[in-house]
Amino acid sequence: MRLSYKMKKYNLYQIDSFTTEKFTGNPAGVITNAEGLKESDMQMIAREMNNSETAFIFPSNAADHDVQVRFFTPRTEVPMCGHATIAAHYARAIENNLPTTRIIQKVKAGNLPVDIIREDNDYEIVMTQGEIEFATPFGKDITDKICEALKITPDDLLENVPVQIVSTGHSKIMICIKSYGKLKNIEPDYAKLTDISQEVGCNGYFVFTKDTPDPKYFINARMFGPAMGINEDPVNGSSGGALGAYLIKHQLISSEKNQLKFKVRQGFSVGRAGLVEVIMDLDKNGQPLLGKIMGKAVIVFKTTIQI
């Protein structure tokens, strides 16, 4: 006797985040009606899409949030993701013809606000990130290992600025180097970076410089995450709040106001240029309180899958 299974159609998008031009920025998969999918289903869909992350939107199950979102790389689930958050809420806003509004998304990193800003018939998305946490800066041994894996030298690092893990929900190793030319030409040893990730408990290497060929961008950056199955993430949003906090802590940026904004250019090294705007709320002493990232998006395609 053959068994019959009831199958469901799921709305599947491919969305480029931190851009308004298709085939640039950072691509993310999004399923807007994910209720009914098992964890194994989500992992297989993420592997099939083969983006750095795919987002799955579920309805709320409590009064303290509006939607639940889960994020999967081709290899594993992650607690939050910047570009896939932009993509997820862009798709949801388009589907539901939303006005300007604020919602609370429940993610593995906590319950975090997302602002959906309607501009004519398009949207800009602002993602509030989690609590800022600084780990103890790495000593010379680990710093030298990271430099070796990135195929740079310790002399390429900006003086008196430590290599350090910072988190606003999804931790990154912050690595500040002097030269845009050096940044552009980095060709890492991904196996060594993966080994170091296991040693230090952090999967993302955010390498950046204040040296810029274009004054419109304050920071140029690249993000490597081979331990997550992402050799290079074109435009990484979850690093934005961590980067802002790191820049403030190490006096690489300052503001006399209670908020500062700056732009980060990424994706140039892989032909997918994109722009992240970082917004940092500061306390009365000019120290970081809260990080946000803002970005636009564009739908590349929409389809359905049946599972």
On whether the CB atoms of residues 207 and 239 are closer than 8 A, the answer is no
| Helical residues (DSSP H) of 151-220, grouped into ranges | 180-184, 190-200
Q: How far apart are CA 158 and CA 163, in angstroms?
A: 10
Q: Does 95 qualify as catalytic in the annotation?
A: no
Task: Tokens 């910047």: give the residue.
Answer: 82
Which helix (H) or strand (E) covers residue 269, if one does?
none
In order of 85, 131, 273, the CA distances from 69 in angstroms are 8, 18, 26
| Active-site annotation holder among 21, 35, 48, 53 | 53
As given in the structure block, the two tokens for residue 166 are 């910072």
User: Which residue in 22, 19, 36 sits closest to 302, CA to CA?
Assistant: 22
| Catalytic residue positions, numbered | 53
